[in-house]
């Protein structure tokens, strides 16, 4: 298994793992999953597939953050050359820009409506969980 380090050099050196090897390994594991009938092996294969999914998802988010940060740094260097003081991005700002990029990507692929609808349903179910409800009246005195 691969241990993901927080280093930029690591990402550059082992990019082939995330681009080629992990997706190919995932496909191979899916084929094995279809062939096997042993419940222990099935569980192990599913765990490994979910681990690969997590790694790939984490790397895409991390690369998006790195791209946002590098773009900002480039702009700041240009501004510093013109005598402006540098402005450093907070994590919250990076998160906001990641969300904007995700929104634009979904909009371009045409999946924005379904994504927003899914988010709306999820939030509605969360709100519904905390709504007070009326208990049935069990007192016989009030019924008389």
Where along the chain do its domains lie?
1-87, 90-131
Q: Tell which residue, 53, 57, 63, has the closest CA to residue 27.
A: 53
What is the overall mean pLDDT for the chain?
82
pLDDT at residue 1 above 70?
A: no
Band (2; pLDDT cuts 50, 70, 90)? very low
Condensed to tens digits (0 to 9), the pLDDT of residues 5-57 reads 455 677 778 777 777 888 888 999 999 989 988 889 999 999 999 998 888 88
Distance in angstroms (rounded) separating the CA atoms of residues 25 and 122: 32
In this prediction the pTM is: 0.47
pLDDT of residue 117: 93
Distance in angstroms (rounded) separating the CA atoms of residues 60 and 71: 16
Q: Which two tokens stand for residue 75?
A: 């702009």
Q: What integer is the mean pLDDT of 51-76?
A: 82
**Containing H/E element for 76?**
helix 39-81
Per cent of the chain over pLDDT 70 is 89
Q: What integer is the mean pLDDT of 73-90?
A: 84
- What phi and psi, each to the nearest 5 degrees, are found at residue 83? 90, 10
Q: What integer is the mean pLDDT of 136-144?
A: 62
Q: Tell which residue, 93, 21, 109, 27, has the closest CA to residue 59.
A: 21
SS3 131: coil
Q: What integer is the mean pLDDT of 67-71?
A: 82
Q: Residue 32 class from Cβ within 10 Å (0-12 exposed, 13-18 middle, 19+ buried)? A: middle
pLDDT at residue 129 above 90?
A: no
Band (138; pLDDT cuts 50, 70, 90)? low
Q: What is the dihedral of CA 53, 54, 57, 62, to 10 degrees?
A: -150
């Amino acid at each position: 298994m691969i241990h993901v380090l927080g280093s930029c050099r690591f990402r550059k050196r082992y990019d082939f793992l995330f681009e080629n090897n992990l997706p190919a390994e995932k496909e191979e594991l899916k084929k094995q999953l279809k062939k096997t009938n042993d419940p222990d092996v099935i569980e192990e294969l599913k765990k490994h597939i979910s681990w690969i999914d997590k790694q790939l998802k984490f790397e895409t988010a991390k690369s998006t953050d790195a791209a946002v940060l590098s773009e900002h740094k480039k702009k700041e260097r240009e501004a510093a050359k013109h005598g402006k003081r540098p402005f450093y991005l907070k994590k919250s700002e990076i998160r906001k820009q990641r969300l904007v990029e995700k929104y634009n990507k979904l909009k371009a692929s045409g999946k924005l409506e379904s994504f927003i609808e899914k988010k709306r349903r999820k939030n509605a179910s969360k709100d519904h969980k905390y709504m007070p409800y009326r208990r049935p009246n069990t007192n016989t005195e009030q019924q008389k």
